[in-house]
Amino acid sequence: MENFTDRLISVIRSKSSCVVVGLDPYFKLIPGTFKQKFSAFQRNALEYAARIILEFNREVIDLIAPLVGIIKPQIAFYELYGWWGIWAYAETIKYAKQKGLIVIGDVKRGDIPSTAEAYANAHIGKVHIDNFIEAPFFVDAITVNPFFGSDGLYPFIQVAKEHNKGIFILVKTSNSLSAEFQNLTFGDKKLYEIIAEKTNEWGKDLVGKNGYSAIGAVVGATFSNEITILRKIMPAAYFLVPGYGTQGASIDNLKYCFNPDGLGAIINASRSLLYAYNISPWKEKYDMEAWKEATREAVIRMNEDIRKIAGINLK
Amino acid sequence: MENFTDRLISVIRSKSSCVVVGLDPYFKLIPGTFKQKFSAFQRNALEYAARIILEFNREVIDLIAPLVGIIKPQIAFYELYGWWGIWAYAETIKYAKQKGLIVIGDVKRGDIPSTAEAYANAHIGKVHIDNFIEAPFFVDAITVNPFFGSDGLYPFIQVAKEHNKGIFILVKTSNSLSAEFQNLTFGDKKLYEIIAEKTNEWGKDLVGKNGYSAIGAVVGATFSNEITILRKIMPAAYFLVPGYGTQGASIDNLKYCFNPDGLGAIINASRSLLYAYNISPWKEKYDMEAWKEATREAVIRMNEDIRKIAGINLK
């Protein structure tokens, strides 16, 4: 049976791209031409922001869908606009699914078992309401936080299995002080190595026909030696790699995320693509009105950069 | 100046209660008499569930407000109903604030700095939308996950400071396998001790007039020796203690959470109070129709139990 990574790999091959576009709305960076159309909603500022964000996302999705097969909305940037923001999050997911994109909900949830089950059913599962069954968000995969331990993760794994979805467990994050707890050494192993070993174990029952598990890992691209170690510990885990672009990860490090088959990693960029008009080298070429051209060119460039790194199977 | 814990202590003293009522809606446990009133909304099951949950919460809040000063909605049980659920979460917070309750948003968020800032502003801060400023949820405090390290927590601490709010950092969680990562030993210290030391450090600048910091800790009440250690490492941290009731923490362990001043801890129970009609000894006495009597009696009993443990200052 096809699992989440098999569907992921299909999309990667059909678009010849393992880029993930992070749909992280920064309201003040959304071009002003958008905002003008929505002035009627200004009596409710949260609704106003949410409607602009949704419309912007739809235009971004239309723009990138021929180039890229995966998006990753970061829910924090939607929660920032209250329940209207979550409405925009849900509608963005719906629109992206209609366009055939794989959607990874970057929610980084984690909690005790009964609560983790609620989160899992909310985001990658379904909810029973009397005789009705609803799928509140139903993205293809979500990110989860391992701090609670195995029993906090089992409900996510179980719901992923039940609905044939994926999860990406935080193993080593991309922030500059991630080593503070994640690199603490217990015996001869670092915390992130211990979490990686568990992730590999948890994923063993959920390997698809391409050899990759539905249980993946978030691996920041900050240190090449760490990536190499993690690639070895978790050969069957798909890596979701943040840090390209604005967060400044070295492009050279990214190559260690891929397996020899040219697969095994998807690379995310958010602000550096969505607001490319505002960032060199695009801002020297395009003004805000031409934001779509800047974004398109930034996505094409990133696709080319990552294709070179990932190797043969994407060509 | 009064900080979050000073306001918390005022409420604790005025109600003579350091109980937190966890507002975790379990739809199927909400008495059927409620659901009948909302049958008109059954064309949208998520809206139907959300409206019932909100109405149930309002009745619970009215019922408990004379007895208890603090509620803690767990956002997972609202996300389970999509953006309609988050609407119910926001409206529940509004209603509780109108009734003078302290609201702790149990969101357990954690992420890289730019994302953590969005979460912090969403839940305990404000958002700027052109010339408007909105406060999407604006609870009194939230729970946060420390896995990312200091730079992932600073935005929460900063926003808490700016808006005079509180945060509770996960130090040792109440789930049965929490030891798996949290009790790993680095040198001569366990991970939870290292996080506790950091929590104590981060909180030093935010101590209020009662001697407690706006930076508190989530401490599961599972092992008495751990609680004793943590109480010593973080003397100025308020402990948010889950695990009483359904999770089965020993009532004896709870006493180690309190300081000699009878303060320093708030004890949460959720299902064992909200659905007391369904649990011994109340279910032998009350049927579902009399759920309010069961809940009221369960809250009164818990208040009495905790008062005995906390000591003199609550009497």
Instruction: Calculate what percentage of chain B has a pLDDT beyond 70.
Output: 96
Taking the Cβ of residue A185 and every Cβ of chain B, the question of whether any pair is shorter than 8 Å is answered with yes
B108 catalytic residue (yes or no): yes
Interchain contact, B108 vs A111, CB within 8 Å: yes
Taking the Cβ of residue B181 and every Cβ of chain A, the question of whether any pair is shorter than 8 Å is answered with yes
- Assign B315 a pLDDT band (cuts: 50, 70, 90): very low
Out of B97, B108, B255, B292, pick the active-site residue.
B108
- Assign B296 a pLDDT band (cuts: 50, 70, 90): very high
Sort out which chain A residues have CB atoms less than 8 A from B170's CB and list them. 147
Q: How would you classify the pairing of strands A141-144 and B166-172?
A: unpaired
CATH level 3 topology of B4-314:
TIM Barrel (3.20.20)
CA distances from A313 to A6, A218, A237, A251, A306 (A): 14, 22, 18, 19, 12
Taking the Cβ of residue B118 and every Cβ of chain A, the question of whether any pair is shorter than 8 Å is answered with yes
- Determine contact, residues B168/B218, Cβ cutoff 8 Å: yes
**In sequence order, what DSSP letters do the residues of chain A get, joined into one string?**
---HHHHHHHHHHHHT--EEEEE---GGGS-HHHHHTTGGGTTSHHHHHHHHHHHHHHHHHHHHTTT-SEEEEBTHHHHTTHHHHHHHHHHHHHHHHHTT-EEEEEEEE--SHHHHHHHHHHHHS-EEETTEEE-SS--SEEEE--TT-HHHHHHHHHHHHHTT-EEEEEEE--STTTHHHHT-EETTEEHHHHHHHHHHHHHGGGB-TTS-EEEEEEE-SS-HHHHHHHHHH-TTEEEEE--SSTT---HHHHGGGS-TTS-SEEEEESHHHHTGGGSTTTTTT--GGGHHHHHHHHHHHHHHHHHHHH-GGG-
At B243, is the secondary structure helix, strand, or coil? coil
pLDDT of residue B33: 81
Please name the member of B24, B28, B81 whose beta carbon is closest to the beta carbon of A136. B81
Question: Searching chain B, which residue's CA lies closest to the CA of residue A121?
Answer: B80
pLDDT of residue A35: 84
pLDDT of residue B76: 98
Could you give the CA distance from residue B314 to residue B305 in angstroms, rounded to a whole number?
Answer: 12
Question: Searching chain B, which residue's CA lies closest to the CA of residue A137?
Answer: B82
Interchain contact, A177 vs B46, CB within 8 Å: no
Per-residue pLDDT for B247 more than 90? no
Please name the member of B86, B179, B247 whose beta carbon is closest to the beta carbon of A86. B86
| Chain segment B5-16, per-residue pLDDT in tens | 999 999 999 999
Per-residue pLDDT for B73 more than 80? yes
* B263 secondary structure, DSSP code: -
pLDDT tens track, chain A, 315 positions? 799 999 999 999 999 999 999 999 999 999 988 888 887 766 799 999 999 999 999 999 999 999 999 999 999 999 999 999 999 999 999 999 999 999 999 999 999 999 999 999 999 999 999 889 999 999 999 999 999 999 999 999 999 999 999 999 999 999 999 999 999 998 899 999 999 999 999 999 999 999 999 999 999 987 888 999 999 999 999 999 997 876 556 778 898 999 998 999 999 999 999 999 999 999 999 999 999 999 999 999 999 999 988 875 554
pLDDT of residue A315: 44
Could you give the CA distance from residue A53 to residue A59 in angstroms, rounded to a whole number?
Answer: 10
Cβ contacts below 8 Å, chain A against chain B, sum to 219
ipTM over 0.95: yes
pLDDT of residue A93: 98
Tokens in use for A84?
A: 């209207």
pLDDT of residue B208: 98
CB interface of B with A, residues 221-260, below 8 Å? 242, 247
Which H or E run includes B224?
A: helix B224-233
Query: Which amino acid, residue B70?
Result: I
- Assign B237 a pLDDT band (cuts: 50, 70, 90): very high
pLDDT of residue B155: 98
Interchain contact, A147 vs B147, CB within 8 Å: yes
- Determine contact, residues A267/A32, Cβ cutoff 8 Å: no
Out of A108, A126, A189, A283, pick the active-site residue.
A108
Question: Searching chain B, which residue's CA lies closest to the CA of residue A195?
Answer: B181
Taking the Cβ of residue B39 and every Cβ of chain A, the question of whether any pair is shorter than 8 Å is answered with no
| Chain segment B160-204, per-residue pLDDT in tens | 999 999 999 999 999 999 999 999 998 899 999 999 999 999 999
- Assign B246 a pLDDT band (cuts: 50, 70, 90): low
In this prediction the pTM is 0.97
Sort out which chain B residues have CB atoms less than 8 A from A77's CB and list them. 115, 118
Could you give the CA distance from residue B200 to residue B210 in angstroms, rounded to a whole number?
Answer: 16
Interchain contact, A147 vs B116, CB within 8 Å: no
Taking the Cβ of residue A270 and every Cβ of chain B, the question of whether any pair is shorter than 8 Å is answered with no
Q: What are phi and psi of A267, to 5 degrees?
A: -115, 125
Please name the member of B118, B149, B186 whose beta carbon is closest to the beta carbon of A177. B149
Average pLDDT over residues B249-271: 89
Q: Which residue has the higher pLDDT, B32 or A160?
A: A160
Per-residue pLDDT for B159 more than 50? yes
- Assign B249 a pLDDT band (cuts: 50, 70, 90): low
Q: Domain spans of chain B?
A: 4-314
Please name the member of B84, B121, B170 whose beta carbon is closest to the beta carbon of A80. B121
Per-residue pLDDT for B243 more than 80? no
pLDDT of residue A251: 78
